[in-house]
């Protein structure tokens, strides 16, 4: 099975080969979710723009969270628009820590694609190697014909995640101040799911690239994750948790994702929220 990462030099070599991969530009961040203007100003040659909010997520009932998983038909239609055909190699990238690109990697691999990778270092890593960009839009012709599956594996729902700390490790991969409940800029209340351990997904990076597998394993071990331990991850809205799932794959650790994450949990009556640093914390209704 191919590595889920590809370096800028490796990707440049593939682009020069006879069957270049399908490139997905997934520029998105919480404070600037619309990445198309930056994409039009400059993107990797042949890359198509992916709208994370509307193609890699479903936006309807806020009780499902801010970025619930897209239904199969929606994702398949988007993948065909991107030009993906059966058997293609797909490479996703962004310009902030590969978090949005990891979402594309995760939903596509969980939907049945066998060769999806993330550009390690993203757009900044590509530019650091003095590799070229192109401007304008890319509209693949003809469109793709890929057939995707429903996402049924590697996910955990709100009821199962509540019980997760009883038999495994539940990771909250947000920044420490949001985990503690000191700040909460996006959801109704701050805090975290009781029993969750904080492991910000950014610890798996160094200079914008993923750290070596042994270093990632050491970070997981420090959070109490050893051999045979079941691991689930959540974040604010299910985006950064897929980045932790990618880090886990690099380290040989299976991480399932709670897609609703804190944005669903904090909007659901009857759930409890914990604030403060573990293990000394207060538990209150959300």
- In sequence order, the 6+-apart residues with CB closer than 8 A to the CB of 133 are 42, 43, 44, 45, 126, 127
* Active-site annotation holder among 47, 155, 235, 239: 235
Give the Cα separation of 286 and 274 in Å (integer): 9
Can you read off the two tokens belonging to residue 144?
A: 């793709």
Give the Cα separation of 165 and 194 in Å (integer): 8
Q: Is 235 noted as a catalytic residue in this protein? A: yes
Number of H helices, E strands in the chain: 11, 13
Residue 238 burial (CB count, 10 A): 29
Can you read off the two tokens belonging to residue 219?
A: 């970070």
The residues annotated as belonging to the active site are 235
């Amino acid at each position: 099975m191919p590595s889920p990462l590809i370096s800028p030099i490796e990707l440049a070599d593939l682009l020069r080969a006879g069957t270049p991969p399908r490139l997905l530009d997934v520029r998105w961040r919480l404070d600037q979710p619309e990445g198309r203007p930056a994409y039009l100003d400059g993107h990797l040659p042949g890359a198509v723009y992916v709208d994370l909010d509307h193609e890699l997520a479903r936006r309807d009932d806020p009780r499902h969270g801010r970025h619930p998983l897209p239904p199969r038909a929606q994702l398949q239609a988007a993948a065909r628009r991107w030009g993906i055909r059966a058997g293609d190699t797909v490479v996703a990238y962004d310009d902030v820590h590969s978090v949005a690109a990891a979402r594309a990697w995760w939903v596509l691999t969980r939907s049945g694609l066998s060769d999806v990778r993330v550009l390690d270092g993203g757009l900044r890593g590509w530019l650091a190697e003095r590799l070229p960009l192109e401007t304008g839009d890319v509209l693949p012709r003809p469109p793709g014909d890929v057939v995707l599956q429903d996402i049924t594996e590697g996910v955990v729902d709100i009821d199962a995640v509540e019980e997760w700390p009883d038999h495994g490790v539940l990771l909250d991969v947000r920044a420490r101040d949001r985990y503690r409940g000191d700040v909460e800029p996006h959801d109704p209340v701050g805090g975290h799911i009781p029993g969750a351990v904080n492991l910000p997904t950014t610890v798996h990076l160094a200079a914008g690239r993923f750290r070596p597998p042994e270093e990632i394993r050491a970070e997981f071990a420090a959070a109490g994750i050893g051999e045979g331990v079941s691991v689930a991850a959540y974040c604010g809205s299910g985006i950064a948790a897929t980045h932790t799932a990618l880090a886990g794959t690099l380290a040989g650790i299976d991480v399932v994702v709670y897609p609703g994450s804190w944005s669903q949990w904090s909007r659901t009556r009857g759930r409890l929220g914990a604030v403060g640093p573990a293990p000394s914390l207060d538990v209150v209704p959300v």
